[in-house]
Amino acid sequence: MSARFHDHLRARPGHPHRSRPVVLNTWEAVYFDHDLDRLTHLADLGAEVGVERFVLDDGWFRHHRDDRSGLGDWYVDETVWPGGLRPLIDHVRAPGALANAQSAGDGLSGRTPAPPTDPGTPWAAGSGSPQRPGAR
């Protein structure tokens, strides 16, 4: 039954026909312990084994230094990333490195403000603005 359903979904005109990218999500590797050298090294290791998308998970935005604090501030935490995310993004997108960089916005809450439209925001290096989630 599920195979038939998957076949039906894959037959739709808008369904992508390319393989899904190999993803490296930083959460399990660093949790909230973000460090540029550590993350660029992780990106390099990922590129060596064929990772195609680098996802910078929790820990990059303000007011979220542990799993008991608020989620969804769209602004880079200057105390963690004094130079912003651009050095990491540039490293990940350099020739011979990973093909894509994006940030994870999966833990947003209903109090999360709308994302800024500034092209310097973290998801600008990925695949478009994140969508605000509904109630969980």
Q: Which of 101, 21, 3 is nearest to 54 (CA)?
A: 101
CB 73 within 8 A of CB 61: yes
pTM of the model: 0.67
Q: What is the pLDDT of residues 31-60, one digit of tens each?
A: 989 999 999 999 999 999 988 888 888 888
The whole-number pLDDT of residue 103 equals: 57
The whole-number pLDDT of residue 30 equals: 94
The identity of residue 115, as a single letter, is P
In the chain, which residues have pLDDT < 70? 69-73, 95-136
